[in-house]
Amino acid sequence: MSDTGKDESGATAFDIRKVLKALPHRYPLLLVDRVKSLTLGERIHAVKAVTFNEEFFQGHFPAQPIMPGVLQIEAMAQAAAILGIETLELAGTGKLVFFMGIESAKFRAPVTPGCLLDLEVEFTQKRSRVYKFKGRASVEGKTTCDCEFTAMIADPPAD
């Protein structure tokens, strides 16, 4: 990684400070800790460090902690939001990325505390405000969840 935040392929990487600038999410629902690579208009590879301190582990399940599958999908959606916001140069505009639909979701393996959850998302379709993505979550190369989902860029709700 060079000083410019780009890897040898020219993809951009983000630390947590830049993730916080790109997303409106905050603890306990921020599910992206860093971006390993981002290729504008194409794909993102982000990471979530899953720790025992996550609030959801208190109830899911106390004796056998497993990250809920829907939160894996949310983590992929947050990675997709970073990809969309950065691709469309919308950072700082107040625009939000809203889920519209989830298709073909499959949960393949449990995610437990101590895992590094890799989040790989790519654009599959781009329209003016509606975008489709294909996502894959994995731990050490083993797929834990995959799905396709649709999101839209919108103004925040009025107060």
51 DSSP assignment: -
Domain 12-154 sits in CATH at 3.10.129.10
Distances (CA, A) of 100 to 34, 76, 130, 143: 24, 14, 9, 24
Q: What pLDDT is stored for residue 156 in this prediction? A: 85
Look up 60 and say whether it is catalytic.
Answer: yes
Reported as a single tens digit per residue, the pLDDT across 107-133 is 999 999 999 999 999 999 999 889 999
Q: Residue 117: how many CA atoms within 13 Å on its side-chain side? A: 31
Number of residues in the chain? 159
Closest Cα to residue 67, out of 19, 21, 23, 28? 28
The SS3 assignment for 73 reads helix
Q: Domains of the chain: which residue ranges? A: 12-154
Which residues in the chain come in under a pLDDT of 50? 1-4
pTM of the model: 0.92
Catalytic residue of the set 25, 60, 95, 126 = 60
Identity of the amino acid at 71? L
Closest Cα to residue 102, out of 67, 75, 77, 138? 77
